[in-house]
């Protein structure tokens, strides 16, 4: 069913998503037995394309650029916690959403990150095709890499539509994943302090 009609044969680079996605979405509608020409569906391929490009826009994000200018001198040893960050991502197995909350904590080594940048780092990785475990790890590693703190903890609690709408059809099961690096991994008290903040 893959449509290659707009693919340029010259380059190895992937064809521009904006050019190829509407045709693919249209083919998918037809394959599902729908009539892509009927009134309600006429603009759907364009909308699906725009929506998918937004939901995967994290691939193009340059982390250093994202935090540029928002790293400040700050106190060492006082834990910074940003909790209940809204999270929306797409599972890479079904392309269905998973969504929930992300909690991020770190122990500065004299450098702190502008608070609004923490959710933007979360989005940079959530806006890709993901599994929750890897997303959790990538957020923690990104904080580690950009802020170079003494330690990082990230916890994600999320509901997966691929489990809720299909498959096991469990509406109330939430997946919880965590990644602890540096002091959060080694020091039980640091980890405990973080976990008490997000409880």
Selected binder of Zn ion within 91, 113, 118, 121 (CB under 5 A): 91
Site string for Zn ion, 114-153 (x = CB under 5 A): ----------------------------------------
Q: Are 180 and 151 in contact (CB under 8 A)?
A: yes
Identify whether 93 is a catalytic site residue.
yes
- Active-site pick, 91, 102, 127, 130: 91
**Residue 93 touching Zn ion (CB under 5 A):** yes
CB of 106 to Zn ion, least distance (A): 29
The dihedral through the CA atoms of 112, 116, 121, 126 has a sign that is: positive
Query: Which among 79, 175, 168 is positioned nearest to 135, based on CA atoms?
Result: 175
Identify whether 103 is a catalytic site residue.
no
Task: Quote the distance between the C-alpha of residue 48 and its chain's center.
Answer: 19
CB of 130 to Zn ion, least distance (A): 10
User: How many residues contact Zn ion, by CB under 5 A?
Assistant: 4
When the beta carbons of 130 and 190 are compared against Zn ion, the nearer one is: 130
- C-alpha span between 72 and 118 (Å, rounded): 14
3-state secondary structure of 30: helix
**Residue 164 touching Zn ion (CB under 5 A):** no
CB of 98 to Zn ion, least distance (A): 7
- C-alpha span between 173 and 167 (Å, rounded): 13
- Active-site pick, 102, 127, 138, 160: 160
**Residue 162 touching Zn ion (CB under 5 A):** yes
> Hey, what are 123's tokens?
């989005």
Identify whether 127 is a catalytic site residue.
no
Identify whether 91 is a catalytic site residue.
yes
CB of 160 to Zn ion, least distance (A): 6
Query: Which among 140, 159, 138, 153 is positioned nearest to 193, based on CA atoms?
Result: 153
3-state secondary structure of 103: strand
The span of 61-69, 86-94, 105-113, 185-193 binding Zn ion (CB under 5 A) equals: 86-94
Selected binder of Zn ion within 83, 94, 174, 185 (CB under 5 A): 94
- C-alpha span between 150 and 144 (Å, rounded): 8
> Hey, what are 34's tokens?
């729908």
Q: Which residues bind Zn ion (CB under 5 A)?
A: 91, 93-94, 162
Which residues are catalytic, by number? 91-94, 132, 160, 162
């Amino acid at each position: 069913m893959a449509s290659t009609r707009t693919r340029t044969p010259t380059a190895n680079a992937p064809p521009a998503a904006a050019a190829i996605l509407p045709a693919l979405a249209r083919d998918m509608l037809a394959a599902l037995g729908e009539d892509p020409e009927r009134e309600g569906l006429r603009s759907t391929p364009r909308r699906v394309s725009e929506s998918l490009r937004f939901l995967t826009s994290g691939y193009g994000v340059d982390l250093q650029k994202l935090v540029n200018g928002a790293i400040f001198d700050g106190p060492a040893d006082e834990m910074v916690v940003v909790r209940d960050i809204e999270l929306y991502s797409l599972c890479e197995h079904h392309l269905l959403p998973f969504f929930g909350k992300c909690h991020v904590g770190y122990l500065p080594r004299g450098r702190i990150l502008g608070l609004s940048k923490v959710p933007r780092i979360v989005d940079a990785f959530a806006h890709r095709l993901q599994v929750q475990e890897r997303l959790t790890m990538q957020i923690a590693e990104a904080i580690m890499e950009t802020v170079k703190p003494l330690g990082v903890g990230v916890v994600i609690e999320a509901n997966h539509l691929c489990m809720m709408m299909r498959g096991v059809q469990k509406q109330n099961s939430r997946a919880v994943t965590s990644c602890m690096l540096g002091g959060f991994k080694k020091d039980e008290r640091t980890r405990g302090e973080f976990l008490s903040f997000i409880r």
